[in-house]
Amino acid sequence: MIQNYDLVVIGSGTAAQVASSRVRAAGWSVAVIDHLPFGGTCALRGCDSTKVLISGVDAVDMARRMRGRGITGEAAISWPDLIAFKRTFTDPVPANHERRYAERGIDVFHGTARFTAPSTIEVPSVAFTLPPIASVGLGEAQALATGLRFRVNRQKVSNW
């Protein structure tokens, strides 16, 4: 079974959110595919989670520097507690992203996307009511969300 979309986005990070939301708002049919939990590297295991971990290290460093200047006692990091704190930020991300996509009318697919023809992507079925292999037909544009920038192959994008 082939499902046709105006835009198919591979990846679910920041670039995917921007690209898919903008073209969906313009009335296009959109699908997002990712083989990892939705949210992308930055939100789940890169930028954001790293900042949480670094803030713990910075707090200990600052306490050590301020010892004798109004700060007493020994500061230390409990890695299990810090990781648990980080997870309060990262654990909700995949479900929140999928909910936002659904609210916007964007279809999501879990699995590894594979180009099988210039205008066809196959995704092994791992979620939803898809056949064993779902063939997603590409429409007017394709976007590969590979990080903070997205690239769109525009064949006909006049209503952006």
Domain limits, the chain = 2-41+97-154, 44-90
Reported as a single tens digit per residue, the pLDDT across 53-76 is: 899 999 999 999 999 999 898 889
pLDDT band of residue 41 (cuts 50, 70, 90) is confident
Q: What is the pTM of this model?
A: 0.71
How far is it, in rounded angstroms, from Cα 8 to Cα 91?
Answer: 26
Q: What's the burial of 32, exposed, middle or buried (CB within 10 Å: 0-12/13-18/19+)?
A: buried
pLDDT band of residue 145 (cuts 50, 70, 90) is low
**Residue 150: in which H helix or E strand, if any?**
strand 150-154
CATH topology of domain 2-41+97-154: FAD/NAD(P)-binding domain (3.50.50)
How far is it, in rounded angstroms, from Cα 18 to Cα 9?
Answer: 10
> Residue 39 above 50 pLDDT?
yes
